[in-house]
Amino acid sequence: MNLPMFFPSLFVPSFAITTQMAPLDWLAIAIYFSLLLGVAWWVVSKSKNTATDYFLAGRNLGWWVIGASIFASNIGSEHIVGLAGSGAKDGVALAHYELHAWCLLVLAWVFVPFYMRSQVFTMPEFLERRFSTGSRYVLSIISIITFILSKIAVGIFAGGVVFGTLLPELQLNIGGHVIDSFWIGSISVIVLTGLYTILGGMRAVAYNDAVQVVVLIGGSALLTIYGLHKLGGWHELHQLCGPDMFNLWKPLVPAGQTSTWAPIKEVVNGEIVRQAWYFNNNFPWLGMAICAPVIGLWYWCTDQYIVQRALGAPNEKVAREGSIFSAFLKLFPVYLFIIPGLICYALVKKNVIPELTEAFNARGSQGAFPMMVQYLLPPGLRGIVVAGLLSALMGSLAGVFNACSTLFTVDIYEKLRPKASQGEIVHVGRVATAIMVIIAILWIPVVKGAHGLYEYLQSVQGYLAPPIFVVFFLGVFWPRLNARGCFWAMVVGFIIGIFRMCIDTPITLGMFKTYPEGSFFWIVNNINFQYFSILITVVSAIVMVGVSYMTAEPNAAQIQGLTFATATAEDKARTRASWNWKDVLASGVIMIFITFAYLYFRG
């Protein structure tokens, strides 16, 4: 598809629509958007044109809004489309990532006290207080790149997948140039989300997220329940999928291997054509054991995209309660997004719905969720679930739009123009969001060429997250580590990660099939992304510790209250007063549910 040059006087657009959507479906969607519009209007009417209000909602969000907003921001289009697609292809293997609700408990109990007592706007700002201004700039730039490449672009792409599945014949003809439903859907998601995000800021994002979570969970639950009913129940699902697809552990062992430590073999026509430890499809045991927690702890505890919601709390108690509530909500995705993928696979295998089987065989597993919506649900219910899909699309993108504008404006622009007015800061944040969206649109072909939507997301995060994880976690637990160690750990780690992305991108884009076998680039490209992520983590940690101990100790006054060892008695007393037995009980219940899931999904 080639987007035409925009000369409005030279052409007239025309649409062609063929869809399974019924009037009841459109009514449900209309009611949903009316509700969002009403919430957005109410929020905008209450907003003030200040940086604190625009970027952190005036620091007066309630715990339930914080928890819902964290969950809605995380469970975006890439989760619903990607997880269901992975479920239809690989079973429950990716549930490992979704059972990272425990990482939110680390945010609640370990990092919230540091963030709230420092009263920072952004994660780079916290890093500046702990280490240096240079560290702040490096993290700001890399975080923005990560948002564009992983969150914004993937969210927009998944929006296009949803529209392309539900409205496959939707076209826009502009001067002879046909724009298909994928691009119409992608750009529509941006416009609809950007409208309330740019106008209302963090407050609009958070309160709309609270509404969207209800629709998202309700709609996905309807699809799961209805799909199981159509299939014949949970037992039938288990029988059709087989124990392997219900096993969290077996997919982690390479096919044909008896040990995860044995060399990986690629067999063609009964002959081993190559054998090496670093070749692996999907998710190796060692990678899941080390890489997955590193990415999870980076994402939930140090990523601006997530933590910004907790920063909008009035105090440490509310921030912790909101984080615990989001951990509870995080227990749902396995059952509401991955399981529908398995249901889709089972329905196709049993050929319950011939239209679904035909569409699945033609389009592949990536569109499993929207295909089920299209061919399985009756009118009315279909509209509710589509509204849930739109909730995910908009909630995730709205969160990252606001996080991007905050990082650029607070960490870069405001540092360059310290005398800028509050109105100017807010205006620059809005303009920055628009520019980042344009860049993300240009990156969509790379995402579209990836082997799997969720796999692409995890690989990008695996290349860019390790240095951030290292400097934050070692920074709060190890007071001897200094600014130079932090700076060079991030620089070296990011160079390695971006180098790997540059090696992978030509293959992803299909510019050529592979590198010459045995060459350095070929070896790098074929190392499993999780193994490579572990390598970046280890190198970053070695650099941080080594450089820190080769240079002077950090100033004691600068790090006071920013590490566990330097927290004052008053800080500790304030933190202890901010939680009670209910918070401990809620955290314990969440850990029990996570343990149950790991024990149950054993095939």
pLDDT of residue 278: 47
pLDDT of residue 20: 59
- The band of 494, judged by pLDDT with boundaries at 50, 70 and 90, is very high
Please check the confidence at residue 523 and state whether its pLDDT lies above 80.
yes
Please check the confidence at residue 529 and state whether its pLDDT lies above 50.
yes
Please check the confidence at residue 32 and state whether its pLDDT lies above 60.
yes
pLDDT of residue 3: 37
Q: Check if the beta carbon of residue 401 is closer than 8 Å to that of residue 380.
A: no
The DSSP annotation for 5-26 comes to P--GGG---EEE---S--HHHH
What radius of gyration, in Å, describes the C-alpha atoms of the chain? 24
**How large is the average pLDDT for residues 422-448?**
72
Q: Is 409 helix (H, G, I), strand (E, B) or coil?
A: helix
Within a domain: residue 18?
A: no
pLDDT of residue 98: 80
Rounded to whole angstroms, the Cα distance separating 285 from 502 reads 26
Please check the confidence at residue 257 and state whether its pLDDT lies above 70.
no
Please check the confidence at residue 277 and state whether its pLDDT lies above 60.
no
Q: Check if the beta carbon of residue 541 is closer than 8 Å to that of residue 467.
A: no
Task: State the virtual CA torsion across 437, 439, 445, 450 in degrees, nearest 10.
Answer: -80
Rounded to whole angstroms, the Cα distance separating 264 from 279 reads 6
- The band of 45, judged by pLDDT with boundaries at 50, 70 and 90, is low
Instruction: Label residue 223 exposed, middle or buried (CB < 10 Å: 0-12, 13-18, 19+).
Output: buried
Residue in the block written with tokens 């598809």 = 1
548 vs 427: which has the higher pLDDT = 548
**How large is the average pLDDT for residues 450-459?**
64
- The band of 56, judged by pLDDT with boundaries at 50, 70 and 90, is low
- The band of 256, judged by pLDDT with boundaries at 50, 70 and 90, is very low
DSSP run (H or E) holding 37: helix 23-46
Please check the confidence at residue 296 and state whether its pLDDT lies above 90.
no
Please check the confidence at residue 291 and state whether its pLDDT lies above 50.
yes
**How large is the average pLDDT for residues 503-511?**
73
pLDDT of residue 550: 94
Rounded to whole angstroms, the Cα distance separating 306 from 104 reads 10
Please give the tally of structural domains in the chain.
1
- The band of 166, judged by pLDDT with boundaries at 50, 70 and 90, is low
User: In sequence order, what are the residues at sequence separation of 6 or more whose Cβ sits closer than 8 angstroms to the Cβ of residue 323?
Assistant: 66, 67, 70, 104, 105, 107, 108, 112, 310
End-to-end CA distance of the chain: 43
Tokens representing 218 are 């309700």
Please check the confidence at residue 193 and state whether its pLDDT lies above 90.
no
pLDDT of residue 235: 87
Rounded to whole angstroms, the Cα distance separating 356 from 89 reads 15
Question: Which phi-psi region, left, alpha or beta, contains residue 36 (left: φ > 0; alpha: ψ -120 to 50)?
Answer: alpha
Please check the confidence at residue 72 and state whether its pLDDT lies above 90.
no
User: In sequence order, what are the residues at sequence separation of 6 or more whose Cβ sits closer than 8 angstroms to the Cβ of residue 47?
Assistant: 53, 54, 200, 201, 203, 204
Rounded to whole angstroms, the Cα distance separating 561 from 427 reads 34
Please check the confidence at residue 253 and state whether its pLDDT lies above 50.
no
Within a domain: residue 37?
A: no
Span 553-564, pLDDT tens digits = 988 888 888 888
- The band of 16, judged by pLDDT with boundaries at 50, 70 and 90, is very low
**How large is the average pLDDT for residues 582-599?**
92
pLDDT of residue 280: 45
Helical spans, DSSP H, in 510-601: 520-526, 529-550, 569-577, 581-600
Tokens representing 413 are 């622009």
**How large is the average pLDDT for residues 535-559?**
92
CA dihedral over 47, 412, 457, 257, signed as positive or negative: negative
Within a domain: residue 6?
A: no
Among candidate residues 59, 341, 337, the one with its CA nearest the CA of residue 203: 59
20 vs 592: which has the higher pLDDT = 592
- Crossing angle for the helix pair 133-146 and 483-509, to the nearest 10 degrees: 20
User: In sequence order, what are the residues at sequence separation of 6 or more whose Cβ sits closer than 8 angstroms to the Cβ of residue 141?
Assistant: 412
- What number of CA atoms fall less than 13 Å from residue 437's CA on the CB side? 27
Please check the confidence at residue 405 and state whether its pLDDT lies above 60.
yes
Among candidate residues 520, 533, 530, 524, the one with its CA nearest the CA of residue 504: 524
Q: Check if the beta carbon of residue 478 is closer than 8 Å to that of residue 149.
A: no
Please check the confidence at residue 303 and state whether its pLDDT lies above 90.
no
Q: Which of 279-283, 315-319, 491-495, 500-504 shows the lowest mean pLDDT across its residues? A: 279-283
Within a domain: residue 312?
A: yes
pLDDT of residue 1: 36
**How large is the average pLDDT for residues 482-505?**
91
Among candidate residues 291, 343, 2, the one with its CA nearest the CA of residue 173: 2
Please check the confidence at residue 485 and state whether its pLDDT lies above 90.
yes
Please check the confidence at residue 520 and state whether its pLDDT lies above 60.
yes
Q: Identify each DSSP E strand in 263-419 by its residue range.
A: 264-268, 271-276
Rounded to whole angstroms, the Cα distance separating 121 from 74 reads 20
Instruction: Label residue 571 exposed, middle or buried (CB < 10 Å: 0-12, 13-18, 19+).
Output: middle
Within a domain: residue 301?
A: yes
State percent of the chain over pLDDT 90: 15
pLDDT of residue 551: 93
The DSSP annotation for 239-297 comes to HHHHHHHTBSSGGGSPTT-S-TTSPEEEEETTEEEEEETT--SS--HHHHHHHHHHHHH
State percent of the chain over pLDDT 70: 74
Q: How long a stretch of residues is the chain?
A: 603
DSSP run (H or E) holding 114: helix 112-118
Within a domain: residue 14?
A: no
Rounded to whole angstroms, the Cα distance separating 196 from 518 reads 51
Rounded to whole angstroms, the Cα distance separating 234 from 29 reads 30
CA–centroid distance for 560 within its chain? 33
Within a domain: residue 529?
A: yes
Provide the residue range defining the domain that includes 322: 46-600
Q: Which of 153-157, 252-256, 325-329 shows the lowest mean pLDDT across its residues? A: 252-256
**How large is the average pLDDT for residues 221-243?**
86
Average pLDDT value for the chain? 77
**How large is the average pLDDT for residues 289-309?**
85
DSSP run (H or E) holding 238: helix 234-245
pLDDT of residue 227: 86
User: In sequence order, what are the residues at sequence separation of 6 or more whose Cβ sits closer than 8 angstroms to the Cβ of residue 158?
Assistant: 76, 77, 78, 80, 81, 82, 393, 453
CATH number, position 228: 1.20.1730.10
Please check the confidence at residue 261 and state whether its pLDDT lies above 50.
no
pLDDT of residue 286: 72
Within a domain: residue 7?
A: no
Tokens representing 334 are 């396995």
Rounded to whole angstroms, the Cα distance separating 129 from 141 reads 17
Rounded to whole angstroms, the Cα distance separating 423 from 211 reads 28
Rounded to whole angstroms, the Cα distance separating 65 from 126 reads 23
575 vs 43: which has the higher pLDDT = 575
